[in-house]
Structure 1
Amino acid sequence: MLFVDRMSNPAATVESQVALTPSSTSTPTPTNAPSVEINDSQGTEVEHDNKRLKSAAWQDFVKKKINGAWKAECKWCHNKLGAESRNGTKHLLDHIKTCKSRHARKGLTQSNLKMGIDAEGRVTVGKYVFDQEVARKELALMICLHEYPLSIVDHVGFRRFCGALQPLFKVMTRNTIRKDIIDLFGVNKISISNYFHKLQSRVAITTDLWTATHQKKGYMAITAHFINDEWKLKSFLLRFIYVPAPHTADLISEIIYEVLADWNLESRLSTITLDNCSTNDKLMENLLGTMLDKLPVDTLMLNGSLLHMRCCAHILNLIVKDGMTILDKIIEKVRESVSFWTATPKRHEKFEKQAQQINVKYEKVIALDCKTRWNSTYLMLSTAVLYQDVFTKLGTREKMYTPYCPSNDDWKFARELCDRLKIFYDATEAFSGSKYCTANLFFPKACGIYLAMRKWSTSADPNIITMTKLMSAKYEKYWKDVHGILAIASVLDPRYKLHMLNAMFIQIYGEEVALRKVNAVKEDLYKLVLQYQNHVEEGVGTSDGVNA
């Protein structure tokens, strides 16, 4: 279980106060108590004693009549000692001195000095009192934050460490810490729900569905993103859920709507971002139909026409993978070279020494790529080309490696491919950011990629031309589905406005078609502004028109 965004508003953070069930061993409040009447388990007659108890011993004892005899019950260990007047109180005072329960629990309320540093860097000294419940909460938070296994509380080393750090801390069992985490989740869910209720902005939803290789089970993470009242981008993980196979559109749409309804967000959405496949197209049809059946049409932006947001990073991944299908054999020599010199620690050490001998700084470590991940192939190539001289020198010295050593043409193509892939890699890195808004970044970068591919189509290398054709075909397939809301986002960016949109469309479509497309974006933008204005007018009773 994971808690996100600990630095947001205190009302919505994992740091919020957690009301855990008090321990049965909580510290009692010593008082000068009078005699107490009780019935024992055998129903013995109860007598009264109203005399004032003046001895200091009675701050830690309660006087009870049990089975006809007065007893003094220790408030700490609940042992019962004689309390007849003739007995006096010395034996009670002696018990207080040796009562282990009293000394252990008293230590919980004893103040210690705690040193710290304030905002100005000055050393401060304050009062510190150990609290078992606070420590339990912090342990639960630690397990969630760092994704430690619940079994950590059973580890001998962890228990010894806790004992050395704070002997009074009682490490709980795995079941207890599991209950603490669930309780903590429940408290924070209520806190975050209240936070959403007060939030003025819409909420964007992203989903991530994958299959765990070791379990062969599907899981989905649903995350909410929004701008808070301080104009900072925040994110909360709403649900991490197991999705049984088959992963049909009906099943996934039902899960997403259930999560939105559980958090009361179905009427406050801006967009929902999904991966790109035919199943998700059907999924959005189901989800939108369900929402429009249960909600007023105007609760969604432009009646839901902007609800479906395709994942920009996933689109770029599909584009590059199509182009890379023909290049595996061409870059195989470089891949085999990297594989050879990273196969064993001894070979890698020899490679590093060779770099030092020819005065090549070995700052980036060579690493083999994963063939199914183009970005890892880019990183492998971009690192390998830095050490071309090292590979070449080793090719003349090591007979076992000579057959794998790339030629000058291989290195030349690897450099050209790196230059092409860099624009996709940088764009993917920008789109994958979670600490800043990314919608306004897509359009200028996507247009830049389109114009770059036009230049690649005139390359002298036939392999680059073939790669570009495959990439362009995939790009055009998705371009028409993504530029609507993302074009509006770029217009709202004061650095771009309509000037960048107009200039890019003219280069891509020509002036006549560009004019129609720019006007279509402007029309959608005006409709969106009008919808927001009507929403505001309903709340404040104004009637100003939209200045188009």
Structure 2
Amino acid sequence: MLVAGFEIIADIRVETDTSAVAGFSAIDAVEGNNVIGIETEISVEPKKRMERQRCKCRNCGTSYLYDSKFGTGNMKRHLRTCLKRESWDVGQLLLTQYNSSILPFSGHLFDHEQFRQIFLEAVIRHGLAFQFVEWAGIRDLLLYLCPDLQLGTRATVGEDCVAMYIREKVKMQAKLQAMSNRISLTYDLYSSLTTDSYGCLTAYFIDNDWNLQKNVLNFFYLPPPYCDTYLAEKIFGLLIDWGIEKKVSTITSNSALINADPVKDLRSKLNASRGLFCGGEYFHIPCCAHIINVIVQDGLKEIDEALHKIRESIKFVKGSKAREQKFLECVTQSSLDVKKGLRQDVSTVWSSTLIMLHHALYYRQAFMQLEISDSSYNGCPSKIEWDNLEKMSKLLSVFYDIALVFCTSKYQTANVFFPAIFSAYLRLKQETGNDDECLKTLAMQLLSKLEKYWSDFSIILAIGVILDPRYKFCFVDWCFKKLLGDDGVQESTRVKDKLFSLFTMYTTPTKLIPSPKPIIMPDESCYNDQFNAPDDSFSREADVFFKEFDSLAREDVFQQKSQMELYLDEPRINRKSRLDVPTYWKVNQYRFPEVAAMARDILSIPFTTVNKANSFDESGGMLDQYNSALKPDMIEALICTRDWLYGENEAKQMMLEELTKDIFLFDVDD
């Protein structure tokens, strides 16, 4: 065997080296004393008399003994370190570096179909443009790695995407139809750069392994001007296409996107097919994140002018190194900590605005000192504006805490929302009794908006938190009494009645809920005439007394507690424990099968349509420039397939922390 890169210094018989290092010459075959197929740059010289056979590196001229008993190890080691070697095989270099056999040798046959599949998955996963395959730099790179690579066009990439979408849709449809429990929906609106509107329908459910699943079902074009009837018929038609029209429990949406009329029409259509529980009483759930965003934005409008001054003040300090140094001197004079830092905000992300405001308020005295010491700075808020900013910051921090809970929780469901919203409700209500009239008025304005959401949907929120073994009904009862005083008893009673009314659905056999296991009664083999019945030993007079006991036993049958009552009677789990609630019900489904079935449906109800990363964002869904240029069917194929295979979009986005980081970390030139 001859290592490629060495030339034979004599005419000898050798074999082909099929694992030769790529980029170097290899002898294909030898017949007799004639070398066949040898590359043109290899010279074959006769062996010198009385000398042993040798081979020589054609790069640097180093020679080695060439004999079967010496092997080829010395030649291979030399090639790895030869300084005059001009080309290298990437696969072999990586294998040498990492001592791994994962990468193929140069003799490995390239699988064009496998490459096509991997390339397609990369396009879908990372949201790459179809013309990516036609970019000159990308083609040069791929052809360098594999000169005979069969590169397609943007059209072939599109065709492959549609084919993959069809395959994955069949799998998703089978998955949904195999589910025996309810499916919750969300509806959201997206816009393209050309202002075209698209609806996004997403399904939420707890699968057979008790994992909460979220899958985009459809991403459909909304032709203008679409009416309420069209939207209801469109969504209903999509549900029929998936075969889940009888499994729907709720739909969560932004109330500004889908008003009462299409919800009413859709509810009627689903009720006609007996697809909703409780007659659709809990069918429509408004997006909690949207409600909070609206409340916060309304609050920020009250201090809009003062906020503008804060933004301009921070930009002024950031404007030059000299200004920054001047401000730092003011910070030191005010005995403040420079490490707190100043931060800018993103106007459409209200959490960044609150963080900016919080940091600016800390440096309030420094800004006032800067106004005195620097005549070019004239944008400092007045004392009254500073006071109003501080009061609003205190109130809006209530909603920041709620959104923070949402975006840090694994599940955005009722058992997470109820405690967070209750806390905000209670804190705002306490502020309505504040002696400061301004703070009191602001608190009342924010509370009135939150009360609307709370009063309409506190029932389904409460039922969800009752099914969390860390809270149960006693928490709901305590919350309403804390909020409403004596009137809280009536409200908690109403919740309990609704809870057991909904629970009756799961104690009645339906197609969705399997029948409870029947009580096993003793069969005939358990009876024997050789044994007497207990009352055979007593007189008729004595038997009268035992009949009273028999009647008590019959009453006891009707007084037996339901599974829901037994669950509620059990001690609560520590509230601070990191409990995975679906996993809890997975473990306890055999103890409380009916309650577990109910929990499986209720705990899958989403109370927001936005993902965790966008909990603070009010800008709405927007398609990028590449998706905006595609046809509606292709957009749906890409978005749905990406979600089914990889979950949330992994397209690279600039991190909010990078946009709003401490301005003192910037290198600003004078």
How many angstroms does 1:541 deviate by? Answer: 6.4
1:367 to 319, 336, 344: 344
Are 2:340 and 2:359, in contact at CA under 8 Å, matched by a contact in 1? no
> Helix, strand or coil: the match of 1:206?
strand
Query: 1: distance between equivalents of 2:232 and 2:469?
Result: 36
Could you tell me which residue of structure 2 aligns to residue 149 of structure 1?
129
> Helix, strand or coil: the match of 2:466?
helix
Q: Which amino acid aligns with 1:518?
A: S
1:494 aligns with 2:469: yes
Query: 2: distance between equivalents of 1:393 and 1:134?
Result: 67
1:527 aligns with 2:498: no
How many angstroms does 1:170 deviate by? Answer: 2.6
> Helix, strand or coil: the match of 2:508?
helix
Q: Alpha-carbon deviations, 1:418-452, whole Å to 9, x = none?
A: 22212201212333568424221222222211111
Query: 1: distance between equivalents of 2:392 and 2:92?
Result: 62
How many angstroms does 1:123 deviate by? Answer: 7.4
Question: Please, which moves more after superposition, 382-391 or 478-487?
Answer: 382-391
Could you tell me which residue of structure 2 aligns to residue 224 of structure 1?
203
1:340 aligns with 2:278: no
Query: 1: distance between equivalents of 2:99 and 2:176?
Result: 38
Pairing of 1:99-498 with structure 2 (within 5 A):
125-126=101-102, 128=104, 130-212=110-192, 214-277=193-256, 279-293=258-272, 295-296=273-274, 299-341=275-317, 346-347=319-320, 350-351=323-324, 354-355=327-328, 358=332, 360-361=337-338, 366-370=343-347, 374-388=350-364, 390-401=366-377, 403-407=378-382, 410-431=385-406, 435-498=410-473
Query: 2: distance between equivalents of 1:514 and 1:348?
Result: 59
- Structure 2's unaligned 5+ residue stretches are 1-35, 40-90, 520-560, 566-670
How many angstroms does 1:173 deviate by? Answer: 0.3
Q: Alpha-carbon deviations, 1:152-176, whole Å to 9, x = none?
A: 1111122222233444433210000
Distance 1:268 1:378, change over 3 A: same
Query: 1: distance between equivalents of 2:325 and 2:238?
Result: 52
Query: 2: distance between equivalents of 1:123 and 1:427?
Result: 51
How many angstroms does 1:413 deviate by? Answer: 3.8
How many angstroms does 1:277 deviate by? Answer: 3.8
**Greater gyration radius:** 2
Query: 2: distance between equivalents of 1:389 and 1:352?
Result: 16
Distance 1:368 1:446, change over 3 A: closer
Query: 2: distance between equivalents of 1:256 and 1:349?
Result: 59
Query: 1: distance between equivalents of 2:173 and 2:452?
Result: 39
Q: Alpha-carbon deviations, 1:83-132, whole Å to 9, x = none?
A: xxxxxxxxxxx99x9xxxxxxxxxxxxxx88989xxxxx97534756322
Distance 1:542 1:231, change over 3 A: closer
Query: 2: distance between equivalents of 1:234 and 1:204?
Result: 10
Q: Which amino acid aligns with 1:333?
A: K
Query: 2: distance between equivalents of 1:391 and 1:135?
Result: 60
Query: 2: distance between equivalents of 1:248 and 1:377?
Result: 36
- TM-score, normalised by the number of residues in structure 2: 0.58
Query: 1: distance between equivalents of 2:462 and 2:92?
Result: 59
Distance 1:266 1:536, change over 3 A: closer
Query: Quick one: higher RCO (CA 8 Å, sep 6+), 1 or 2?
Result: 2
How many angstroms does 1:187 deviate by? Answer: 0.7
Distance 1:515 1:455, change over 3 A: closer
Aligned length: 426
Q: Alpha-carbon deviations, 1:478-525, whole Å to 9, x = none?
A: 2221112111001111111111111111122222x3222222222222
Q: Which amino acid aligns with 1:230?
A: D
- TM-score, normalised by the number of residues in structure 1: 0.70
Q: Which amino acid aligns with 1:207?
A: Y
Q: Alpha-carbon deviations, 1:360-395, whole Å to 9, x = none?
A: 54575622442x664443232123234445534543
Q: Alpha-carbon deviations, 1:185-204, whole Å to 9, x = none?
A: 11111111112222343221
Q: Which amino acid aligns with 1:179?
A: E
Q: Alpha-carbon deviations, 1:23-58, whole Å to 9, x = none?
A: xxxxxxxxxxxxxxxxxxxxxxxxxxxxxxxxxxxx
Question: Please, which moves more after superposition, 532-541 or 315-324?
Answer: 532-541
Query: 1: distance between equivalents of 2:271 and 2:280?
Result: 8
Query: 1: distance between equivalents of 2:469 and 2:304?
Result: 42
Are 2:270 and 2:276, in contact at CA under 8 Å, matched by a contact in 1? no
Could you tell me which residue of structure 1 aligns to residue 490 of structure 2?
516
Query: 2: distance between equivalents of 1:501 and 1:465?
Result: 27
> Helix, strand or coil: the match of 1:125?
coil
Could you tell me which residue of structure 2 aligns to residue 72 of structure 1?
none
> Helix, strand or coil: the match of 1:322?
helix
Q: Which amino acid aligns with 2:224?
A: A
Residue identity (%) = 28
- Structure 1's unaligned 5+ residue stretches are 1-93, 98-111, 117-121
Are 1:333 and 1:410, in contact at CA under 8 Å, matched by a contact in 2? no
Query: 2: distance between equivalents of 1:515 and 1:441?
Result: 23
Are 1:228 and 1:234, in contact at CA under 8 Å, matched by a contact in 2? yes
How many angstroms does 1:234 deviate by? Answer: 1.9
Question: Please, which moves more after superposition, 413-422 or 403-412?
Answer: 403-412
Query: 1: distance between equivalents of 2:341 and 2:188?
Result: 31
How many angstroms does 1:348 deviate by? Answer: 7.2
How many angstroms does 1:536 deviate by? Answer: 6.7
> Helix, strand or coil: the match of 1:226?
strand
Query: 1: distance between equivalents of 2:409 and 2:277?
Result: 23
Are 1:114 and 1:125, in contact at CA under 8 Å, matched by a contact in 2? no
Are 1:352 and 1:362, in contact at CA under 8 Å, matched by a contact in 2? no
Could you tell me which residue of structure 2 aligns to residue 43 of structure 1?
none
> Helix, strand or coil: the match of 1:306?
coil
Are 2:189 and 2:257, in contact at CA under 8 Å, matched by a contact in 1? no
Are 1:324 and 1:467, in contact at CA under 8 Å, matched by a contact in 2? no
How many angstroms does 1:414 deviate by? Answer: 2.9
Are 2:465 and 2:472, in contact at CA under 8 Å, matched by a contact in 1? yes
> Helix, strand or coil: the match of 1:276?
coil
Are 1:207 and 1:220, in contact at CA under 8 Å, matched by a contact in 2? yes
Distance 1:327 1:125, change over 3 A: same
